[in-house]
Amino acid sequence: MATTGLTSRRRRRPSGGASSWGIVAAPLTWVIVFFVTPVIMIAIYSVGGISGLSPNDIEEWTITPWKDFTTSPVYMGGLNPLGSGLFWKSIRMSTIVSFTSLVLAYPIAYLLAMLAGKRKYTLLLIIIVPFLTSYLLRVLAWRVLLNPQGVINTFLVDTVGILNGPIPWLFNSSFSIYLVLSYVWVPFVALPIFVTLEGIDEHLLEASSDLGASRWKIFRTVTLPLSMPGVIAGFIFVFIPTIGEFITPQLVGGPGGFMFGSAIQSAFSFGLDWQFGSAMAMFLVFTVAILLAIFGRYLNVRSVAG
Amino acid sequence: MNMAASRSGRGALWVAFWLLVVFLYAPILILIIFSFNDRELVSFPWEGFTTRWYHEFLANETILKALKTSAWIAAGASAVTTALAIPASIALSRRRFFGKGLVSGFLLAPLVVPLVVLGTAMLILFNYLGFPFGPLTLIIGHVIIALPFAILTIVPRLDRIPVALEEAGRDLGANWWTTFRTITFPLLAPAVLSAYLISFTISFDEIVLASFIAGSTTTFPVYVYSQLRLPTQLPQMPAVAAVVLVVSTIVVSLAEIVRARADRALDSVERVADEPAAEVVGVEV
């Protein structure tokens, strides 16, 4: 849990013992061999520098896989964020989901950090626990609720009888994708916002009040701006995993739930067009890198550690 | 005057809080309730209370085997993750060395790479090496995903353990290893336990990597995913889901409570550590 009142820490280098590089050797090697290397490999593979892994591989240096998907109206269709390209569809999904999660989480984080007193950590725990339980089973729970023969529809149609048939937009729709993904991410977004709000010096609020600002003005001109790092961190930490998301959209989104992540996944599992899939995967890496270059300074990863 | 919200504002925020709690827990509770409904479909009408689905689930070899496979993989992955996270956290929290920024960047980078990318990357790596897909590749991948979370759980705790305690140990003649074993590790243990449990949950629940590099291994998420894609799933699924959700909720809550208790205990240690060194030595931890 986040802690208050960190006293000044003395970070003196301990005398003796293993060297710093000695103690990071094992974890660092693991990450370099099994994470950095494979990411570099897909980059090389996507331009034909490696081949022979799948039947359709191009065996010479080429930009064909990249050109194919960036120009294809199905996969990307150029730089048209409102177009039908799957990449942009995923970007739109990530934006909506991140924004919805923020709107739902902010008031709660505000309440807990500023007004809940001693109970705040317990109440925060109540919000966060669902996030730490099975993702897939929570998606299953929503399927049970939303599907045409599910709990909500059978309740309204058979038990209460106010409807003649299942609500069409409740399942296998954009609505169900946004709903379930926001549901999954709300607790995670609440954390960094809570941490930044908790770190705000109360004297600032008192000073603003003494100078005659109303509560709303204090919020708008002091609290909200000071909490922006947490808001941005929350946004980015939902946005990034959601761009590559294919499991949830497939399970609750029906045919419309085919996303950019699904395209990557099926290029590998069905299409046997691995270099094409690798180019798309690398494109996601670049997208993330651009986001981090813009917003990276707001990301204090420790603020999500809890 | 309370600067953060008016009386009515506070009321509205509390209503929002409890609505969010309902939003977060209702789907899980409804699933649990309907796992006792004596009906093939998980829906109304309520046809009576039954524990039939639980009996059927306990007799379903495929589900049990998938659960067991996942438990083993998660146990292995979280053991490796924790073992790597402890030295990594010590380096990040206690040491200053050339290239530290880069090292921490590498160690935490998996946090910001979409899992579908990691899945494809590992698929290509293991294919290239001719390494057979199975539990081992899953463990390797799960360690990569869980490591940043484990490090971010252990580092804040390490930051709070006064270096003075370790220095006192060394001043009294203990070597690096003895100091770690008798002073640092006991104080760190709650965070290590949390890190282990978080890694376990991450691995136990992991489906995206598994969909690329599981080979023919059927982990529990792989099984659930295959069931969910069928038009009608097994009627035992809600029962299985209920058991797993309840157990994981209890385990995670307990771990968090233990960690919060231990944090409060550290508050007193921290206060004492600010006193002159002679008193520090006498602290029982």
How large is the ipTM? Answer: 0.85
How far is C-alpha B281 from the geometric centre of its chain's CA atoms? 35
Q: Is A24 on the interface with B (CB under 8 A)?
A: yes
Q: Is A4 on the interface with B (CB under 8 A)?
A: no
As a whole number, mean pLDDT of residues A215-232 equals 90
- Note whether A27 contacts B208, CB cutoff 8 Å: no
Asked whether residue B136 carries a pLDDT value surpassing 90, the answer given is yes
CB < 8 Å to B109, chain A: 31, 35-36
Residue of A42, A121, A209 with shortest CB distance to B121: A42
Residue A61, amino acid:
W
- Residue A14 is assigned to a structural domain of this protein: no
Asked whether residue A285 carries a pLDDT value surpassing 90, the answer given is yes
- Note whether B84 contacts A30, CB cutoff 8 Å: yes
- Residue A10 is assigned to a structural domain of this protein: no
* Top mean-pLDDT range of A59-73, A221-235, B74-88: B74-88
What is the rounded end-to-end Cα distance, in angstroms, of chain A? 4
A192 to A17, A109, A136, A229, A304: CA distances (angstroms)? 35, 9, 24, 8, 5
* Top mean-pLDDT range of A84-98, A161-175, A259-273: A84-98
- Residue A93 is assigned to a structural domain of this protein: yes
Residue of B85, B176, B270 with shortest CB distance to A17: B176
Q: Which of B33, B37, B39, B43 to mutate against chain A (most A CBs within 10 Å)?
A: B43
Domains and CATH numbers, chain B: 58-212+244-271 (1.10.3720.10)
- Chain A's closest residue to B225, CA to CA, is A136
Indicate which CATH number applies to the domain containing A205.
1.10.3720.10
Q: Is B45 on the interface with A (CB under 8 A)?
A: yes
At which residue do the structure tokens 């923020």 appear? A102
Asked whether residue B282 carries a pLDDT value surpassing 60, the answer given is no
- Chain B's closest residue to A157, CA to CA, is B44
Percent of chain A with pLDDT strictly greater than 70: 92
Given this model, what pLDDT does residue A12 score?
45
- Chain B's closest residue to A302, CA to CA, is B152
Two tokens at B201? 């949950």
Q: Among the listed ranges A43-47, A90-94, A159-163, B243-247, which one has the minimum average pLDDT value?
A: A159-163
CB < 8 Å to A183, chain B: 23-24, 27
- Chain B's closest residue to A280, CA to CA, is B117
Band of pLDDT at residue B178, cut at 50, 70 and 90? confident
Asked whether residue A7 carries a pLDDT value surpassing 60, the answer given is no
More confident residue, A231 or A63: A231
- Residue A291 is assigned to a structural domain of this protein: yes
Two tokens at A101? 């999660």
Given this model, what pLDDT does residue B275 score?
55
Asked whether residue A13 carries a pLDDT value surpassing 50, the answer given is no
Q: Is A193 on the interface with B (CB under 8 A)?
A: no
Distance from CA of B24 to the nearest CA of A (A): 7
Q: Among the listed ranges A242-251, A255-264, B165-174, which one has the minimum average pLDDT value?
A: B165-174
Separation of alpha carbons B100 and A231, rounded Å:
27
Band of pLDDT at residue A271, cut at 50, 70 and 90? low
- Note whether B27 contacts A145, CB cutoff 8 Å: yes
- Residue A4 is assigned to a structural domain of this protein: no
Band of pLDDT at residue A95, cut at 50, 70 and 90? very high
Give the SS3 label for residue B49.
strand
Domain range holding A158?
A: 72-304
Contacts with A, B 255-274, CB within 8 Å: 256, 259-260, 263, 270, 274
As a whole number, mean pLDDT of residues B235-254 equals 87
CB < 8 Å to A135, chain B: 205, 207
What mean pLDDT value characterizes chain A? 85
Contacts with A, B 114-153, CB within 8 Å: 114-125, 127-128, 140-141, 143-144, 147-149, 152-153
- Chain B's closest residue to A13, CA to CA, is B95
Residue of A115, A141, A243 with shortest CB distance to B31: A141
CB < 8 Å to A39, chain B: 113, 117-118, 121
Asked whether residue A61 carries a pLDDT value surpassing 90, the answer given is no
Distance from CA of B200 to the nearest CA of A (A): 11
Give the SS3 label for residue A171.
coil
Asked whether residue A224 carries a pLDDT value surpassing 60, the answer given is yes
What mean pLDDT value characterizes chain B? 86
- Note whether A134 contacts B248, CB cutoff 8 Å: yes
Neighbours of A111 (CB within 10 A): 24
- Note whether A28 contacts B107, CB cutoff 8 Å: yes
Residue A92, amino acid:
R
Instruction: Select from B180, B209, B224 the least CA-distant residue to B119.
Output: B209
Handedness of CA B197, B198, B199, B201 (dihedral sign): positive
- Residue A272 is assigned to a structural domain of this protein: yes
Asked whether residue A14 carries a pLDDT value surpassing 60, the answer given is no
Band of pLDDT at residue A9, cut at 50, 70 and 90? very low
DSSP A99-166: HHHHHHHHHHHHIIIII-GGGHHHHHHHHHHHHHS-HHHHHHHHHHHHSTTSHHHHIIIIII---SS-
- Chain B's closest residue to A16, CA to CA, is B176
Given this model, what pLDDT does residue A5 score?
37
Residue of A3, A32, A208 with shortest CB distance to B263: A3
Total tally of structural domains belonging to chain A: 1
Q: Among the listed ranges A78-82, B90-94, B131-135, B143-147, which one has the minimum average pLDDT value?
A: A78-82
- Residue A13 is assigned to a structural domain of this protein: no
How confident is the model over B47-73, as pLDDT tens digits? Answer: 778 888 888 888 889 899 999 999 999
Asked whether residue A52 carries a pLDDT value surpassing 90, the answer given is no
Residue of B25, B42, B244 with shortest CB distance to A130: B25
- Note whether B44 contacts A32, CB cutoff 8 Å: no
Given this model, what pLDDT does residue B285 score?
37
At which residue do the structure tokens 């307990």 appear? B254
B146 to A289, B110, B149: CA distances (angstroms)? 21, 9, 5
- Note whether A27 contacts B88, CB cutoff 8 Å: yes
- Residue A6 is assigned to a structural domain of this protein: no
- Note whether B152 contacts A302, CB cutoff 8 Å: yes
As a whole number, mean pLDDT of residues A108-114 equals 92
- Note whether B20 contacts A108, CB cutoff 8 Å: yes
CB < 8 Å to B123, chain A: 268
Counts for chain A of helices (H) and strands (E), in that order: 14, 0
| B144-B149-B155-B158 Cα dihedral, nearest 10 degrees | -100
Strand partners, B49: B37
More confident residue, B81 or A154: B81
